[in-house]
Amino acid sequence: MGAINPHQPLGVDTGNRALREAIRDVALSEHPAFDKRRIIRDLVQKVMLDSKMGFVCRTTDARGFYFHKAERRLYDLEQKPFQHLLSSVSGLSGTETQFRFVLDSLQTEAARTEAVEVHTASFYDPQTGGLVISDGAGGVWRRERRGTWEPGYNGDEDVLFLTDSDATPWEPRFTQDGALKWLLNQLLLDNNAALTCEEQKSLLAVWLLHNLFPALRGTRVIPAFLGPQGSGKTSTMRIIGRLFCGAEFEVTGLSRDREDAFVAAVSNRAIVGLDNADSRIPWLEDALATYATGHRYRRRRLYTTNEEASYSPRAMLLLSSRDPQFRRPDVAERLLPFHFKRPENYQVESVLFEGVMERRGRIMGELLTRAGGIADSLSDLRLPALKFRMADFASFGWAVARSAQQEAGWESLLSKLERSQIQFASEGDSLVILLRSILEDDGKIGPVDVGELYRRCRVMAEGKSLPFPKSPQGFGKHLTNMKRVIEIELGARVTEESAGGNRRYITIALSELQKVQKLR
């Protein structure tokens, strides 16, 4: 057997067979085990990194990836698909010592590279106005400011997209025949006290467009599909998922003890639909708040004592519920509540999904056309500050409305949306129920010490069999968290004063309008 030269280029054109034969020769040679591993590593890296096959990179949250140039696909170096790719190229089994050594070397190589951005769904450059939108698989559609949409590939001009392995690509058709309106009309939306069906459709359209401008989406609102069983909530999530990812998209469930599964989903997939979020899950509200603010999830790395790993949320997130248990005020103000109703007659799901797939290119074409117009309008536009907690969504929607000269209508819609969020947060809340009862009887509460108000409300809660905080401290914290909800829902003003001994006095007084209505 001749000497092995790990620096002799094998070339992609020879396929993987030459690499496997070279690795076999090394494995059967008389080289010390120490040298064998390193020679095999060099052989693999020569093919996978030094040739035209691909390259390794890392993200700012320290995730390592391999980009396969022929497949136009990013592989996470710590996940099974990449290990299968490595086995396919090298012929090594994942159980072999040489395989683990090569894998660790590739991960080390990635960790020492300069950090790059990895995108899902879209990339937008605010400076140039350029848009690059993933077709869900290995292709992209790109547009320069005031230009036309052109096809391309994932990785072109160093713009990298993380895609779902089972996603199928879409190709836009710029027909402008109302396909997006058709899609929104498939939703079984219900009018409620705050938002009409048409207003809810407008909010969902803005949300769809907002996801194509990630640079303007530092914070993310979360569509929450609410309604009874059989009202089309799950079908709606499937419709949106299949629009972006294709017919293989499916929703996922929630488990009380599977927070890590949630983190894995929102950090790896393009779109996630959490179905039937009905039971009380201790970690869910915190996880939703973290996602909405764009913060990273931090976890202890498995099988280590104190090593931390961080994961950036990348997916578009949707959730549905019949009996939502995620009404915490700070979560509610980050939701887009959509209310669904049961239909008189049911359409077969397969027919509905066939309609979506048939119109998929036309819907995406309309979204791309509208996104291009928005990108052009943003070039000389300063986004305003508005009275809405999720400022990124609010200002982006204002820009969308401005293109139709409907800015005032958008600000009015935001006020209605806030009202809908407040209704969602307050529904069934014992504190709101009790304070409303006191105000109806007395017209005003306080000034009263928080502890005294707690004792009065606790007696009332016991008489009405309502759940209630077990301590004055818990009551005081909940009162603080619910302040904005109380003010809007009860039409009152909440003020507080501090006194000696860490005592806090609360006053809740009806607004003048509420007083007039009460007198009537």
- Residue 55, C-beta contacts closer than 8 angstroms, at least 6 positions apart: 49, 66, 67, 69
Confidence (pLDDT) at 302: 58
Residue 16, classified by CB atoms within 10 Å of its CB into exposed (0-12), middle (13-18) or buried (19+), is: middle
Confidence (pLDDT) at 347: 85
What gap in Å lies between CA 391 and CA 193, rounded to an integer? Answer: 24
Comparing C-alpha atoms, which of 212, 206, 211 is closest to residue 184?
206
CA 404 to centroid of chain Cα atoms: 28
Confidence (pLDDT) at 383: 86
Q: What is the DSSP string of 124-188?
A: EETTTTEEEEE-SSSEEEEE-TT---EEEETTGGG-EE---TT----------SSHHHHHHHTS-
Confidence (pLDDT) at 100: 96
- Residue 230, C-beta contacts closer than 8 angstroms, at least 6 positions apart: 342, 346
Confidence (pLDDT) at 333: 93
pTM value is: 0.87
For domain 179-424, give the fold. Rossmann fold (3.40.50)
Comparing C-alpha atoms, which of 233, 229, 272 is closest to residue 250?
272
Tokens coding 143: 């547009």
Comparing C-alpha atoms, which of 270, 111, 199 is closest to residue 418?
199
Confidence (pLDDT) at 13: 42
For the chain, domain boundaries? 17-116, 120-161, 179-424, 428-519
Summary count for the chain: helices (H), strands (E): 18, 19
3-state SS, one letter per residue, for 12-58: CCCCCHHHHHHHHHHHHCCCCHHHHHHHHHHHHHHHHCCCCCEEEEE
Tokens coding 346: 């049911």
- Residue 120, C-beta contacts closer than 8 angstroms, at least 6 positions apart: 134, 161, 162, 163, 269, 270, 314, 315, 316
What gap in Å lies between CA 95 and CA 97, rounded to an integer? Answer: 7
Q: How would you write the pLDDT of the chain (520 residues) with one tens digit per residue?
A: 344 444 444 344 445 889 999 999 999 999 999 999 999 999 999 999 987 899 999 998 889 999 999 999 999 999 999 999 999 999 999 999 999 999 999 999 999 999 999 999 999 999 999 999 999 999 999 999 999 999 999 999 999 999 998 999 999 999 989 999 999 999 999 988 789 999 999 999 999 999 999 999 999 999 999 999 999 999 999 999 999 999 999 999 888 878 889 999 999 999 999 999 998 899 999 999 999 998 888 877 655 556 777 889 999 999 999 999 999 999 999 999 999 999 988 888 899 999 999 999 999 999 999 999 999 999 888 888 888 889 999 999 999 998 888 888 999 999 999 999 999 998 888 899 999 999 988 889 989 999 999 999 999 999 988 888 889 899 988 898 888 888 888 888 999 888 776 788 999 998 755 554 554 5
Q: Tell me which architecture the domain covering 428-519 has in CATH.
A: Orthogonal Bundle (1.10)
Confidence (pLDDT) at 140: 97
CA 65 to centroid of chain Cα atoms: 21
